[in-house]
Structure 1
Amino acid sequence: MDHEKVNILLVDDQPAKLLAYEVILKDLGENLVIASSGRDALEVLLKTEIAVILVDVCMPELDGFELAAMIREHPRFQKTAMIFISAIQVSDIDRLRGYEMGAVDYVPVPVVPEVLRAKIKVFAELYRKTRELERLNQELEDRVRARTAELENSTAKLRESEERRSMAIAAGKMGSWDWDWINGDWMWDEGQYRIFGVTPETFSVSSANIQALLHPDDVDQFRAAIAAFNTGARAYEGEFRISRPDGEVRWCVGTAAATVDPSGRVVRVSGVTVDITERKRAEERQNLLAREVDHRAKNALALAQSIVRLTRADSVKTYVNAVEGRINALARVHTILSLSSWQGAELSKLIEEELAPYSLGGQIRLAGPEVQLAPATAQTLALALHELFTNSAKYGALSTRAGRLTIGWQTENDVLSLSWEESGGPLVRTPKSRGFGTRSLLASIESQLGGQAKFDWRAEGLLCRLEVPLTRKATTSTSPAKFEAASSGELQRASG
């Protein structure tokens, strides 16, 4: 798939090593930028957007640690990924020092090309996704600004055009009024009564009664406007809220202009009121959406980083495939949730999305009612289902044409019970230790959702039962910190 190339900075004082790194990383298809010293690297960074920095620890004049410290001091580069290359045995103290300086990984010499490419690829892709999300946020902000400008322009035209004013009055969005400053008499038109939610038969227009309909926080603004006209002001404009008799609060923008006698004394004040409640609500929705997009983007990236750090594999290819599979599973559920405006996801849709990569004919049977999952539950359960499908495709019933898989689910007392039953595949033996997939599945179901996951390694096929509460108040999305802490704990217990 075509994608925008990112810049990878290679820093080393030895030309031969720089050439070797170029050869190793050429197949990634990214832009490789060369710097033969720490000072050259700093000049490049000031002129170019860099996704990943590959830097030699041992360099004359300015070594890797010192360069990393200088880079991190600049606010622009505080989150730039740095990978150290060291030709000498690095002690734990040096390693900790490197991480404190901002390194995200170490690569020992001699460099294994596949390992270096895999590490660079992961961080380059994370950088690319981050930039894409930033562009989406910027586009959203631009649309909000454009919409706000459009509404302000519309309001100005309503004030200037009598014809548009009449149309707005007919639609109940605009009203006009007149106030005799000398004797205190008020005159409202039909639109003004409609905006305030009252009728001429039930409401007597007076300063006191109008003030009673104003939102308590905006009463002082009304008094300040009166005081301003008394001290020589000739015009006023401001936003305010009204509390209708039925309890509904509406946002309005009001404009007023004074008429004076030959001596300069105010004798009349006339004005227009425009109901801008829908505009205010639209602005609130846009602001909420912008914050939600930012929150979910950060959460998704953090979860992806957790997956990268916690995945274990015997080879680079297996590692890359495992990471890509888990991130793709996360991307699929994000797509489903986005289509529902993050209201939730159907369980059957999650399962169908995980089935999509496989051509299995009639090997799989699904049975269960429609179940709507909350976003947090959907994200966690999607990752758990991905691990089950991946394991079955590698070692279980889905690894052979004779294998069969039955997935059934039901709900009772707001608890989802899901059974995963395999048969007809290779002979199953109880594993001596849990793999990462099993550990992460247990950690996510039990720690994230407060549920249970039970495995029965029968000879004829795996039987797995998941029980997940549907009404538990989980976090707004899958929590990377919880997922990583729980999975790391499983890894430590397994290795201990």
Structure 2
Amino acid sequence: MDHEKVNILLVDDQPAKLLAYEVILKDLGENLVIASSGREALEVLLKTEIAVILVDVCMPELDGFELAAMIREHPRFQKTAMIFISAIQVSDIDRLRGYEMGAVDYVPVPVVPEVLRAKIKVFAELYRKTRELERLNQELEDRVRARTAELENSTAKLRESEQRRSMAIAAGKMGSWDWDWISGDWMWDEGQYRIFGVNPESFEVNPANVQALLHPDDVDQLRKAIAEFNKGARAYETEFRIIRPDGEVRWCVGTAAATVDDSSRVVRVSGVTVDITERKRAEERQNLLAREVDHRAKNALALAQSIVRLTRADEVKAYVNAVEGRINALARVHTILSLSSWQGAELSKLIDEELAPYSLGDQIVLAGPEVQLLPATAQTLALALHELFTNSAKYGALSTRSGRLTIGWQVEDQLLTLSWEESGGPLVMTPKSRGFGTRSLLASVESQLGGQAQFDWRAEGLLCRLQVPLTRKTATTTATGKFEDASSAELQRASG
């Protein structure tokens, strides 16, 4: 059988003996290394891995005992096998000394070849087996280290994955659960308890307690899921509501998957619960906003349609200017309301927007506190102010450089009183009939806002007083539950 050769060191100061040892040991098939002195042997040991040392006891300068002592002092050779060859009668004391120096055996002279070969062969095989065991042990240790490293890496990844899952569940308001279909045992994680608003230490997870937390209208979802799994379903998903112990209602979506045995019988159901309350609320807000936008768009279109249909003028150009002016007034107030997310508009802002096209400088005096108007009130007053400004710019104080306009307002007991006083303009005469602008102003302020509009056509200038409640709702609700603004209807009546 092929095996790896080992090195055997032969140490003797007599060449003839060395040659004899080589002849005797040649059949072993090992590497024989020659050293003719103790010092030469030490040099060989430092350069070569030696399995067995065969050394003569009696050598000049450095005898076998001294060489053995020096060899044993080196850490590398403390277990190297050494056989002493002695040409003299060795006493028990000499043998004891040899063993103390590190010898493992003695061979007397004359040397019996079979005995020497047998001894060398035993120690060479022992060395070879020892090295093989060391190699196997090293490989085993390497494998153990590699496997340990893999397990540690896998454990670290699993721990990191679990941490990420826990963070994702916490951030995503998720919970997981497990239901033993056979025994009926439930297992909830921390997220599941948190979603249902119960204490893990005091809440017992069982079908009765879980069902008690479900919204009465959604209990059938649980029964339906159980029925589906009994019919062979492998997965089920549904939305449902829960009522926490503190009375809060939460929306959830649940996803469940079944585990079956070899006979396709359900043995376990596992799932994930996600709290979607905020999403549901956002959807409700979005739907409400969509309905509100739809209502406002229809209302704006109805107002624009009424303005177009009911505006009167002798010439096309005058008609176009009148329509554009009223629609632009409506557009300006819509812009103001949009910037406030339709929360309302300041009265002074409405007046400033109507003043902007005229660049009248010091002809106008404004006086009044900050007043926040509801959206519908702002729309109506914007159109009313537009009619007043337009009439004044055409026929009243704002039609001349000498004219003056004072607009003042105050609020008392949630009643806005706005006075419009013109002076210094052309001579004013009481009109024989009311135009569309005056009629629409009266109709919208009195009928739509529940206020009053008074006109005093003084010779020195128009005096108008508007009184508008700030808290009255300006929209009515129809039997269908839809919002219906009165503006268009009032404009229709104003045309009569």
* Offset of residue 230 of structure 1: 2.3
Q: Is contact 2:310–2:495 with CA below 8 Å preserved after alignment?
A: no
CA distance in 2, matches of 1:447, 1:214: 49
Q: Is contact 2:243–2:250 with CA below 8 Å preserved after alignment?
A: yes
Q: Which moved more, 1:232-241 or 1:386-395?
A: 232-241
Q: Which moved more, 1:80-89 or 1:371-380?
A: 80-89
* Offset of residue 294 of structure 1: 2.3
CA distance in 1, matches of 2:26, 2:415: 52
Q: Is contact 1:350–1:382 with CA below 8 Å preserved after alignment?
A: yes
Change (3 A) 1:34 1:282: farther
CA distance in 1, matches of 2:246, 2:253: 21
Aligned residue in 1 for 2:171? 171
* Offset of residue 74 of structure 1: 111
Q: Is contact 1:452–1:466 with CA below 8 Å preserved after alignment?
A: yes
* Offset of residue 283 of structure 1: 2.1
Q: Deviations over 1:32-75 (max 9, x none)?
A: 99999999999999999999999999999999999999999999
Change (3 A) 1:226 1:492: closer
* Offset of residue 319 of structure 1: 0.8
Q: Deviations over 1:418-465 (max 9, x none)?
A: 111112222222222222211111111112111110011122211110
* Offset of residue 380 of structure 1: 0.9
Q: Which moved more, 1:273-282 or 1:7-16?
A: 7-16
Q: Is contact 1:440–1:487 with CA below 8 Å preserved after alignment?
A: no
Q: Which moved more, 1:118-127 or 1:454-463?
A: 118-127
CA distance in 1, matches of 2:326, 2:82: 24
* Offset of residue 31 of structure 1: 109
* Offset of residue 286 of structure 1: 2.3
* Offset of residue 150 of structure 1: 38
Q: Is contact 2:421–2:462 with CA below 8 Å preserved after alignment?
A: yes
Change (3 A) 1:254 1:405: same
Q: Is contact 1:114–1:316 with CA below 8 Å preserved after alignment?
A: no
Q: Is contact 2:7–2:49 with CA below 8 Å preserved after alignment?
A: yes
Q: Which moved more, 1:164-173 or 1:435-444?
A: 164-173
* Offset of residue 334 of structure 1: 1.1
CA distance in 2, matches of 1:439, 1:90: 146
Return 5+ residue gaps in structure 2 as ranges: none
Q: Which moved more, 1:379-388 or 1:238-247?
A: 238-247
CA RMSD in angstroms comes to 43.2
Change (3 A) 1:183 1:489: closer
* Offset of residue 280 of structure 1: 1.7
Q: Which moved more, 1:453-462 or 1:291-300?
A: 291-300
Q: Which moved more, 1:143-152 or 1:184-193?
A: 143-152
TM-score normalised by the chain length of structure 1:
0.63
* Offset of residue 154 of structure 1: 27
CA distance in 1, matches of 2:52, 2:95: 19
Change (3 A) 1:270 1:338: same
Q: Which moved more, 1:279-288 or 1:356-365?
A: 279-288
* Offset of residue 234 of structure 1: 1.8
Change (3 A) 1:453 1:492: same
Q: Deviations over 1:281-323 (max 9, x none)?
A: 2222222222222222222112111111111112111111001
* Offset of residue 268 of structure 1: 1.6
Q: Which moved more, 1:350-359 or 1:82-91?
A: 82-91
Change (3 A) 1:98 1:152: same
Q: Secondary structure at the match of 1:282?
A: helix
Aligned residue in 2 for 1:453? 453
CA distance in 2, matches of 1:180, 1:335: 61
Identity %: 92
* Offset of residue 264 of structure 1: 2.4
Q: Secondary structure at the match of 1:269?
A: strand
Q: Which moved more, 1:208-217 or 1:29-38?
A: 29-38
Q: Is contact 1:439–1:487 with CA below 8 Å preserved after alignment?
A: no
Change (3 A) 1:409 1:122: farther
Q: Is contact 1:251–1:280 with CA below 8 Å preserved after alignment?
A: yes
Q: Is contact 2:436–2:494 with CA below 8 Å preserved after alignment?
A: no
Change (3 A) 1:4 1:299: farther
Q: Which moved more, 1:421-430 or 1:267-276?
A: 421-430
Q: Is contact 2:172–2:274 with CA below 8 Å preserved after alignment?
A: no
Change (3 A) 1:33 1:401: farther
Q: Which moved more, 1:332-341 or 1:121-130?
A: 121-130
TM-score normalised by the chain length of structure 2:
0.63
Q: Secondary structure at the match of 1:144?
A: helix
CA distance in 1, matches of 2:310, 2:98: 20
* Offset of residue 255 of structure 1: 0.9
* Offset of residue 260 of structure 1: 2.0
Question: Which one has a bigger Cα radius of gyration?
Answer: 2
Q: Is contact 1:144–1:283 with CA below 8 Å preserved after alignment?
A: no
* Offset of residue 85 of structure 1: 142
Q: Is contact 1:443–1:486 with CA below 8 Å preserved after alignment?
A: no
Change (3 A) 1:176 1:489: closer
CA distance in 2, matches of 1:69, 1:431: 140
Change (3 A) 1:482 1:165: closer
Change (3 A) 1:274 1:463: same
Q: Which moved more, 1:4-13 or 1:359-368?
A: 4-13
CA distance in 1, matches of 2:377, 2:250: 37
Residue 348 (1) aligns with residue 355 (2): no
Q: Which moved more, 1:182-191 or 1:26-35?
A: 26-35
Q: Matches of residues 176-195 of structure 1 in structure 2 within 5 Å?
A: 176-195=176-195
Aligned residue in 1 for 2:478? 478
Q: Is contact 1:415–1:469 with CA below 8 Å preserved after alignment?
A: yes
* Offset of residue 364 of structure 1: 1.5
Q: Which moved more, 1:456-465 or 1:284-293?
A: 284-293
CA distance in 1, matches of 2:59, 2:314: 33
* Offset of residue 5 of structure 1: 101
Return 5+ residue gaps in structure 1 as ranges: none
Change (3 A) 1:177 1:411: same
- Residue correspondences, number: 496
Q: Which moved more, 1:89-98 or 1:314-323?
A: 89-98
CA distance in 1, matches of 2:79, 2:310: 20
Q: Which moved more, 1:244-253 or 1:107-116?
A: 107-116
Q: Is contact 2:415–2:467 with CA below 8 Å preserved after alignment?
A: yes
Q: Is contact 2:443–2:494 with CA below 8 Å preserved after alignment?
A: no
Q: Deviations over 1:179-207 (max 9, x none)?
A: 12222221111111111112213422111
Q: Is contact 2:234–2:257 with CA below 8 Å preserved after alignment?
A: yes
* Offset of residue 338 of structure 1: 1.6
Aligned residue in 2 for 1:255? 255
Q: Which moved more, 1:81-90 or 1:132-141?
A: 81-90
Change (3 A) 1:109 1:250: farther
Change (3 A) 1:484 1:283: closer
CA distance in 2, matches of 1:325, 1:85: 131
CA distance in 2, matches of 1:474, 1:21: 126
Q: Is contact 1:422–1:460 with CA below 8 Å preserved after alignment?
A: yes
Q: Which moved more, 1:383-392 or 1:288-297?
A: 288-297
Q: Is contact 2:476–2:484 with CA below 8 Å preserved after alignment?
A: no
Q: Is contact 2:474–2:485 with CA below 8 Å preserved after alignment?
A: no
Change (3 A) 1:479 1:233: closer
Q: Is contact 2:9–2:53 with CA below 8 Å preserved after alignment?
A: yes
* Offset of residue 336 of structure 1: 1.3
Q: Is contact 2:52–2:123 with CA below 8 Å preserved after alignment?
A: yes
* Offset of residue 486 of structure 1: 10
